[in-house]
Amino acid sequence: MDFRYLPMTENDKKDMLKAIGVDSSDELFSDIPKDILLKEPLKLKKPVSEAELKRELTQMANKNYNLTEYTSFLGAGVYDHFIPSVVDHVISRSEFYTAYTPYQPEISQGGLQAIFEFQTMISELTGLPIANSSMYDGGTSLAEAVTLSAGQTRRKKVLVSKTVHPESREVIETYARGQHIDVIEIDYKDGVTDLEQLEAHLDETIAGVVIQYPNFFGQIEPMAKINKLIKNDKKTMFIVSSNPLALGFLTPPAEFGADIVVGDTQVFGIPTQFGGPHCGYFATTKKLMRKVPGRLVGQTVDEEGKRGFVLTLQAREQHIRRDKATSNICSNQALNALASAVAMSSIGKHGIKKMTLLNMKKARYAKQKIQDLGVDIAFSGPFFNEFVIKLPKSVSEVNDYLLEKGIIGGYDLQTVYPELKNHMLVAVTEVRTKEEIDTFVKELGVVLNG
Amino acid sequence: MANKDFPLIFERSKEGRVSYSLPELDVPEVDLSEEFSDEYIRQTPPELPELSELELMRHYTALSTRNFGVDSGFYPLGSCTMKYNPKINEDIARLPGFSHIHPYQHPKTVQGALEMMYDMQQHLKEITGMYEISLQPAAGAHGEWSGLMMIRAFHEANGDFKRTKVIVPDSAHGTNPASATVAGFESVTVKSNENGLVDLDDLKRVVGEDTAALMLTNPNTLGLFETEILEMKKIVHEAGGRLYYDGANLNAIMGYARPGDMGFDVVHLNLHKTFSGPHGGGGPGSGPIGVTKELEPFLPKPVIVKNEDGYTFDYDRPQSIGRVKPYYGNFSIYLRAYTYIRTLGAEGLKKVSEYAVMNANYVMRKLESVYELPYKQHCKHEFVLSGKKQKKLGVRTLDIAKRLLDYEYHPPTIYFPLNVEEAMMIEPPETETKETLDGFIDTMLTIADEVENNPEIVQEAPHTTVVKRLDETLAARKPVLRYIKED
């Protein structure tokens, strides 16, 4: 069979083997011990032509219920937002997506500058002066923040609110085990971190406190009070995980004293794509600049004084520090950071506020309509674009019904919070229309009263 | 224009321009000040740029022309496997049925995605010879750390808490020792011998009852096959340690040999390298791990299972190291890799390795008379030259790399391996033509000539790029990591 990615002709091959000084390419593999040299071809599916493969994989894709055909109220950390067309046109430029990490800055100015701009946008949203070039996702970024706090304070205990995304908490657990860090979870009360319990656990052994803002239930944590409690000990770090879109409306975490702010920029220009790749961000203070994990792009000048960009402060990183490095991250999410930068540029300084307000107003409309059905709203505090409802039936039963009506219902909280039986986390973004919300509420009424 | 700074997007911004298009509010107005005190409402807007849609496109299009990818030209960057990134992969990843599905949808609504993941695992099992695969790790380094965490969990499950050390060859990539540290181990270096392979005597010296694992790439970072791999396996296993395979160099041996058959216990793959990525300018990647049967219980959770109702996730994994990443890994990246594997099949993948190895040997033999070749045997998919001779003439490998930019090539890897002085790690992937390789060879020979006859032109390179050599010391000494508006 001919393969369109393999250009060597038989003549090329003959000439090259001759130049190498061997009779056959097998000789080039003669250093592999006979005992392990494969005798049989690998048992894989047969190669397929482009047209056939496209057909097969399109059919496979069509087996999935996708968000362009179903109306979704599912969020819980991954959101269905509008993606401007410009985003895909930019990231489809192969000068960007077929490049490697910009180790040769003179021919990578495009990618480097785009990331420098991304760092600036994250810094603007979080209110912190330093942002890195990206992390794998919000969850691992948060775990790296935790290990950074332990390393910096030389303490081995962190407090994590139970209102932090459950999967991020699981990732923190795994990373913490590697570093022998104790993770203590703090309960919640009326949908936000229990301040009394937090206060009771705070002492001079705590490296950092992890809070999500808005939290997993969509609720706004009492940031000012939390910071006051944390800062009773000046070493303990305030680590905040934030949906960066919400920061278009909410006061930036830095203004509440956050030392590290992380999160996921999936909300800006990155499709849900079954959970990945998304794009973590990591922002911090000047003081921690030399402790930041991952790559940083910095501005400098060339020999003629012209502005240019390079990867900088690399002494922090694994390829220089090796076993002394505090993080092992190498590849990150550059192309997705680019996608988010394009989306943030498209939304712009004032558009972001409009976008957050659309999310918030639509969510409040949905909440009111659901409340009008006689359904309880679980938590009473201020929220962003997600809220928790308490149903008289199991969420899975309700969602099964909604699915028949072309609706993907909210997240079943009971699966990770056993105490929240029949509680659904409902997300409403700017892409949901009034009509879709009305239909959702109507069908919810049918299944609950039927 | 030439000397004028290229503008930042913020410098193109003008108050009042928009490139967004948001729907009109179709629900009743709400007064949010009743819900939020001023303390929680942002008072100054974030300084995001304001541009029209065309201005935005021009900015990013101009940036793209200041960037170099595989589609721009030859990219023999060692250890990175910069092969062609097929376009069908991009199209498949963008099908709405794959790109617009939510990780928390009920498994019955994402059977196509789960079927692909399951089948991908079957393919990777066969390619690596491992017992089971997890697609969760996000990149190579993440796979390394996940694999080491599993090895640790395995030893601890056996009541063995004294294994605190991970052995790493001196030629290894920096992520290896860094991953060991992040997984809570101490790393110990094992030396290479005069043939560029792991020194077995040194291995015997460093191995012991505190050995948790030996991390190895095979072929190694010098592009050489570790011919004593079975003996190494014996040494490490007899000491109670486990063998970790860094899959960065798998492109050399597909269809010829499998890490599972070599005795490796844990393997990670770099799908963005071997399986056509793309690299995205530094990610996102995908770093699945494969394990032997004895390590299978420790895999990250959830794992995919197939039963009479179709495919679903199994979270009930009491010995699992836990989650290493939210959701199920970089789905749309391993989807691209799956598309690649299905395009080539067993026959194509073996040819990939055959040609990758042939290309590397060809370029190596053509350059060895002019550049020092520290290890003379056949290489696999890449090889390492030393710029020692050129250094004596006052020209560093860095200069040669920069001179290659003038000839419109991406230079080889030069910052490692650390055990070769003035190293140039060259990897000419299988997707390149003989003409391209010949052009590169000629250029390398021309540069060697320049080093002898006109060294300044090399030392002062690059001459043709949009910026000249950049002051990295300044960047590190006075860090400017974001744009600040000048008033």
Q: What is the pLDDT of residues B332-380, one digit of tens each?
A: 999 999 999 999 999 999 999 999 999 999 999 999 999 999 999 999 9
Out of B27, B102, B474, closest to residue A272 by CB:
B102
The shortest C-alpha distance from A93 to chain B (Å) reads 7
Yes or no, beta carbons of A408 and B51 under 8 Å apart: no
CA distances A86 to A5, A141, A295, B21, Å, are 29, 27, 26, 12
Q: Give the residue from A343, A325, A263 showing the smallest Cα distance to A78.
A: A263
Last residue of a domain, one of A316, A343, A370: A343
CB contact under 8 A, A296 and B40: no
Residues B176 and B218 in one domain: yes
Contacts of A62 in chain B (CB under 8 A): 97, 112
Q: How far is B310 from chain A (nearest CA, A)?
A: 12
DSSP one-letter string for B233-295: HHHHHHTT-EEEEEETTGGGTTTT--HHHHT-SEEEE-TTTTT----TTT------EEE-GGG
- Are both A246 and A309 inside the same structural domain? yes
- Chain A residues with CB under 8 Å of B112 CB are 59-64
**Cβ–Cβ gap B229/A36 under 8 Å:** yes
Helix (H, G, I), strand (E, B) or coil at B162: coil
SS3 B129: coil
> pLDDT for B275-286, tens place per residue?
998 999 999 999
- A 189-218: CB under 8 A from B: none
Overall average pLDDT of the A126-147 stretch: 98
| Mean pLDDT of all residues in A43-61 | 98
Q: Which chain A positions have a beta carbon within 8 Å of B276's beta carbon? A: 5
Question: Measured in whole angstroms, how far is the alpha carbon of residue B194 from the centre of its chain?
Answer: 28
Distance CA(A160)–CA(A176), nearest Å, equals 12
Enclosing domain of residue B99: 87-343
Taking the Cβ of residue A320 and every Cβ of chain B, the question of whether any pair is shorter than 8 Å is answered with yes
Reply yes or no on whether the pLDDT at A450 is more than 90: no
Is A5 a member of any domain?
no
Domain boundary among A343, A377, A400: A343
- Among A295, A314, A343, the domain boundary falls at A343
> Per the domain annotation, does A1 fall within a domain?
no
Per the structure, how many domains does chain A have?
A: 2
The answer to whether residue B1 scores a pLDDT higher than 70 is no
Backbone φ/ψ region at B129: left (φ over 0), alpha (ψ -120 to 50), beta: left
Check whether residue B52 and residue B115 sit in a common domain.
no
Spatial neighbors of B222 by CB under 8 A, at least 6 apart, are B171, B192, B196, B374, B375, B379, B383, B384, B417, B420
Q: Which residue has the tokens 């400017």?
A: B480
Same domain, B264 and B333: yes
Q: What is the mean pLDDT of residues A133-155?
A: 97
Mutate to test the interface with A, among B15, B20, B316, B465 (most CBs of A within 10 A): B20
- Chain A residue numbers with beta carbons less than 8 Å from the beta carbon of B120 are none
Query: A254 and A298 share a domain?
Result: yes
Judgement on whether residues A337 and A369 belong to the same structural domain of the protein: no
Tell me: do A248 and A110 sit in the same domain: yes
Domain annotation covers residue B80: no
Same domain, A338 and A270: yes
B3 lies within 8 A of chain A by CB: yes
The C-alpha atoms of residue A87 and residue A55 are separated, in whole angstroms, by: 26
Residue B150 pLDDT exceeds 80: yes
Q: Token digits for B224?
A: 């050489």
Q: In what order do the strands lie in the sheet with A386-390?
A: A376-377, A386-390, A423-427, A411-412
- For chains A and B, CB pairs below 8 A equal 695
Residue of B414, B474, B475, B283 whose CA lies nearest to A312:
B475
Mean pLDDT, to the nearest integer, of A328-342? Answer: 94
* Phi, psi (rounded to 5 degrees) for B325: -165, 145
A131 and A219 share a domain? yes
HEC assignment per residue over chain A: CCCCCCCCCHHHHHHHHHHHCCCCHHHHHCCCCCCCCCCCCCCCCCCCCHHHHHHHHHHHHHCCCCCCCCEECCCCCCCCCCCCHHHHHHHCCHHHHCCCCCCCHHHEHHHHHHHHHHHHHHHHHHCCCEECCCECCHHHHHHHHHHHHHHHHCCCEEEEECCCCHHHHHHHHHHHHHCCCEEEEECEECCEECHHHHHHHCCCCEEEEEEECCCCCCECCCHHHHHHHHCCCCCCEEEEECCCCHHHCECCHHHHCCCEEEEEHHHCCCCCHHHCCCCEEEEECHHHHHHCCCCEEEEEEECCCCEEEEEECHHHCHHHHHHHCCCCCCCCCHHHHHHHHHHHHHHHHHHHHHHHHHHHHHHHHHHHHHHHCCCEECCCCCECCEEEEECCCCHHHHHHHHHHCCEECCEEHHHCCCCCCCEEEEECCCCCCHHHHHHHHHHHHHHHHC
A441 & A360 share domain: yes
CATH of the domain at B432: 3.90.1150.10
Its domain, for residue A411, covers: 71-82+348-449
Same domain, A423 and A407: yes
In the sheet with B165-169, reading across from the earlier edge strand, the strands are B132-134, B289-291, B266-269, B242-247, B211-216, B165-169, B186-190
Highest mean pLDDT among A321-335, B362-376, B415-429: B362-376
- Shortest Cα distance, chain A CAs vs residue B421, angstroms: 16
Cβ pair B467:A139 closer than 8 A:
no
Total-model pTM = 0.97
Give me the mean pLDDT over the A137-157 stretch. Answer: 97
With a CB-CB cutoff of 8 Å, which residues 330-359 of chain B face chain A? 330-333, 339, 341-352, 354-355, 357-359
Residues of A in contact with B181 (CB under 8 A): 323-326, 328
Do A187 and A290 share a structural domain? yes
pLDDT of residue B174: 85
Q: How far is A407 from chain B (nearest CA, A)?
A: 11
Instruction: Indicate the residue type of A145.
Output: A
Enumerate the residues of chain B whose CB falls inside 8 A of the CB of residue A265: none
Instruction: Determine the pLDDT at residue B415.
Output: 84
CATH number of the domain where residue A274 is located: 3.40.640.10
Taking only residues 100 to 139 of chain B, the set having a beta carbon closer than 8 angstroms to any beta carbon of chain A reads 100-106, 109-113, 115-116, 119, 123, 126-127, 138-139
Residues B189 and B293 in one domain: yes
Q: Give pLDDT tens digits for A181-220.
A: 999 999 999 999 999 999 999 999 999 999 999 999 999 9
* Cβ neighbours of residue B292 closer than 8 Å, sequence gap 6 or more: B130, B131, B260, B265, B266
Q: Are residues B218 and B102 in the same domain?
A: yes
Q: Is A342–B56 a contact, with Cβ atoms under 8 angstroms apart?
A: yes
A321 and A381 housed in the same domain = no
Contact call for residues A247 and B254 (beta carbons, < 8 A): no
**Cα B70 → chain centroid:** 15
Q: Take residue A300 and report the two structure tokens written for it.
A: 């400098």
Question: Closest residue of B to A325, CA-based?
Answer: B178
Higher model confidence: residue B106 or residue A329? B106
Counting residues of chain B whose pLDDT is more than 90, the rounded percentage is 96
Q: Does B258 touch chain A (CB under 8 A)?
A: yes
B3 confidence band (pLDDT: 50, 70, 90) = very low
Chain-chain contact of A96 with B64 (C-beta, under 8 angstroms): yes
Q: Which residue of B has its CA nearest to A224?
A: B39
- pLDDT at residue number B5: 79
Number of structural domains (chain B) is 3
Confidence at residue B277, expressed as pLDDT on a 0 to 100 scale = 86
Structure tokens at A445: 């009424």
Helix B331-367 vs helix A10-20: angle between axes, to the nearest 10 degrees?
50
Interface contact flag, B68 A124, Cβ < 8 Å: no
Residues B301 and B413 in one domain: no
Residue A161 tokens read as 């609110």
* A6 domain residue, yes or no: no
Q: Which residues of B touch A41 (CB under 8 A)?
A: 255, 346-347, 350
User: Residue B4 — pLDDT band, cuts 50, 70, 90?
Assistant: low
Q: Does A24 touch chain B (CB under 8 A)?
A: no
Interface touch A302/B470, C-beta < 8 Å = yes
Across the interface, of A7, A46, A252, the residue whose CB is closest to B42 is A252
Domain annotation covers residue A443:
yes
| CATH number, residue B319 | 3.40.640.10
Question: CB contact, 8 Å: B464 with chain A?
Answer: no
Residue A285 has pLDDT above 60, yes or no: yes
Phi, psi (deg, nearest 5) at residue A239? -110, 125
Predicted pLDDT of residue A323: 79
Q: Which of residues 276-335 of B touch A (CB under 8 A)?
A: 276, 278-286, 300, 321-333
List the one residue out of B11, B303, B200 whose CA is nearest residue A117.
B11
- Could you tell me the maximum CA-CA distance found in chain B, to the nearest angstrom? 79
Nearest CB neighbour to B100, from listed A58, A272, A277: A272
Q: Which of B20, B84, B366 sits opposite A84 (nearest CB)?
A: B20
pLDDT band at residue A82 using 50, 70 and 90 as cut-offs: very high
Residue B74 located in a structural domain = no
Length of chain A (residues): 450
Q: What is the mean pLDDT of chain B?
A: 96
The answer, yes or no, to whether ipTM is higher than 0.90 is: yes
Enumerate the β-bridge partners of residue A389.
A377, A424
Q: Report yes or no on A38 lying in a domain.
A: no
